[in-house]
Amino acid sequence: NAGVTQTPKFRVLKTGQSMTLLCAQDMNHEYMYWYRQDPGMGLRLIHYSVGEGTTAKGEVPDGYNVSRLKKQNFLLGLESAAPSQTSVYFCAIRTGTDTQYFGPGTRLTVL
């Protein structure tokens, strides 16, 4: 998954703690996305960005905030983590009309 990196790869939080997930790209693409994947379900879009300084809500935005201060970076924040936010989080960039390129994922557990 060269070109899109996600930090950290794993994290365990306690309920109420906060954290920020970082997605970084080195391909200069405008569109970036944050998804979550839960067992038995497809990926669900949390937030996305169509360019530096822009963000928009996806299908499941509640409990998350995002920022795109630099074109290369898209940050996903959890202000007060809840067990329902235990999931695998994927960042993606739009590389063509019909394709997105994904990072390796961050596995988050909230106790």
Owner of token pair 């998954």: 1
Q: Looking only at residues 1 through 40 of this chain, which bind other proteins when binding is defined by CB under 8 A?
A: 1, 4, 31, 33, 40
* 101 in contact with other proteins (CB under 8 A): yes
Strand partners, 91: 34
Give 81 or 92: the residue with its C-beta nearer to other proteins.
Answer: 92
Pull the structure tokens for residue 70. Answer: 């630099």
| Separation in Å, CA 61 to CA 2, 3, 5, 28, 37 | 27, 25, 22, 25, 14
* 99 in contact with other proteins (CB under 8 A): yes
Of the candidate residues 13, 21, 46, 48, the single one contacting other proteins (CB under 8 A): 48
For the bound state, the minimum distance from the C-beta of residue 16 to other proteins, rounded and expressed in Å, comes to 28
* Number of residues written out for the chain: 111
Q: How far apart are CA 53 and CA 67, in angstroms?
A: 7
Of the candidate residues 24, 71, 73, 94, the single one contacting other proteins (CB under 8 A): 94
Pull the structure tokens for residue 104. Answer: 């390796």
**Residues near other proteins (CB under 8 A):** 1, 4, 31, 33, 40-45, 48, 50, 56, 58, 90, 92, 94, 97-105
